[in-house]
Amino acid sequence: MLLATRHAIYSAAAVSTEETATFMLFPSWNKKRTTNPYASLCRKYPHMCKFLGTIPSNQLQYAKVPFWNNIQIPLSKHSWEFQVIAIWNTKCRICLNAHNKDWLKELAKEIPEAKWEI
């Protein structure tokens, strides 16, 4: 996750002539005080990384997966939340807002389980 975050930040910084954005879902084990390296990296670059919202652990569900020989292995209940993070450059933010000022509200409608920071 750290390498993916680092790559997204470098991509947004290196490509100054094009709109660049990466949206990621990252687990958050410690709620708002996440000290994971990728979260620390996001906080280090606040002009490029934005925590958009959180999907609470009680709203996360596993997809139904077909099992071998009809033997279903129960998966343990997760206790973490997921953070929705955008890593983008300024040109992308300007472009998103120019084309659709309500893009974040529309994204929030698509993922109603999340608590959004709109």
Digit-coded pLDDT (tens) for 49-80: 999 999 998 888 777 766 666 677 777 777 88
**Residue 69 covered by a domain:** no
What is the total count of domains within the chain? Answer: 1
**Has residue 33 got a pLDDT over 60?**
no
Higher pLDDT, 20 or 37: 20
Range of the domain at 112: 2-59+79-116
**Residue 68 covered by a domain:** no
Q: What is the pTM of this model?
A: 0.79
* Structure tokens that stand for 39 in this block: 């979260």
User: At 108, is the pLDDT very low, low, confident or very high (cuts 50, 70, 90)?
Assistant: very high
**Residue 104 covered by a domain:** yes
**Residue 90 covered by a domain:** yes
**Residue 45 covered by a domain:** yes
pLDDT digits 0-9 by tens, 88-101: 999 999 999 999 99
Question: How far is Cα 53 from Cα 116, in angstroms, rounded to an integer?
Answer: 4
Query: How would you class 95 by CB atoms within 10 Å of its CB: exposed for 0-12, middle for 13-18, buried for 19 or more?
Result: middle
